[in-house]
Amino acid sequence: MMKFGISLIVRGDDANPDTLKKMAELAERDSWDCLWASDHLIMPAMKTSRYPGREDGELPGPWKNTYYQPFSVLNFLASITSTVRLGMSVLILPMRNPLEVAAQVAEMDRLSSGRVNFGVGVGWYREEFEALGFDFKNRGQRTDDGLEIIRRLWTERYVSVDGPFYRFTDAQMGPKPQQTRLPIYIGGNTPQALRRLARYGDVWHPFKISPKQLSDSRVTLDAELKKQGRSVIDFPIAVKIPLVFPDGASMRSKKGSQEVIDSLRRYQDAGATEFCFDILTETCGVALDTMRRFVEEVRPHILS
């Protein structure tokens, strides 16, 4: 069955515990599958890097001083929810030590009774890497090495690594995740991301991709999965796309909802099995209206 998740408001003036609580309570009441938190550690005043989520390379909105971190947000929500899953879309892994991340994610999975979706990406914001002292150019290899370390720490008693970025001997980590195989979502649309997915991931998590691009990329994905000896049948794909009603979130018009329904069906036909919606707002009221309208006017037609 198709799954639906919503991106939380973690930045801007309305990013606060009350907004997070309202979104989480509505998500549980209306049986949303997952709440997703995005990730950035710092926000320099000047930006020269192109944002890959838009053709013009610009951010969808101004960067504000407030940007809640995913571990803080999701651990908070774990304490006030019981059914909705909690995901990162996506954690920028090469800016962090994988040993620390492995422990943080495993502990969150325990504290939430096994409800974590671990989304991972390589990042795009060069200035952020430079400010944190990381080499932007080797972020792909750091991500691959980090994913291998994390999975091993979750499943093995002692882990030793002697690589270009990480070196340690007989490391132990506990607690292990509650889920037997905590799902790793690999973000990105590039050939490198698909190779990473085939080696380390459980779910493909492409961003801002068209149905045709999704369908075409599945050929590459299938080839990469076969190289790793993995099944290509019904491989899960969680697409992250905007959820915007053309006539406004608070309106109730058949035409506006039908446009959204038609768009999602095209993704469904192209192979999507899950949606992570970016609601493109930093306003709590608009977010809640969008969630309600989707549940009332769109979801019944996609599940059918």
pLDDT per residue rounded down to tens, the chain (304 residues): 899 999 999 999 999 999 999 999 999 999 999 999 999 998 766 667 777 766 777 666 656 678 999 999 999 999 999 999 999 999 999 999 999 999 999 999 999 999 999 999 999 999 999 999 999 999 999 999 999 999 999 999 999 999 999 999 999 999 999 999 999 999 999 999 999 999 999 999 999 899 999 999 999 999 999 999 999 899 999 999 999 998 776 566 667 899 999 999 999 999 999 999 999 999 999 999 999 999 999 999 997 6
- Please report the pLDDT score of residue 256 as a whole number: 83
Stretch (H or E) spanning 200: helix 191-200
- Per the CB < 8 A criterion, the answer to whether 88 and 70 are in contact is yes
- Per the CB < 8 A criterion, the answer to whether 122 and 188 are in contact is yes
- Helix 211-227 crosses helix 191-200 at what angle (to 10 degrees)? 50
Nearest to 224 by CA among 249, 251, 192, 255: 192
- Please report the pLDDT score of residue 111 as a whole number: 98
DSSP letter, residue 294: I
- Please report the pLDDT score of residue 255 as a whole number: 74
d(CA 102, CA 105): 5
d(CA 202, CA 197): 7
d(CA 48, CA 69): 23
Domains of the chain: 3-303 (3.20.20.30)
pTM reported for the whole predicted model: 0.95
Count of residues for the chain? Answer: 304
Strands 167-171, 159-162: parallel, antiparallel or unpaired by DSSP?
A: antiparallel
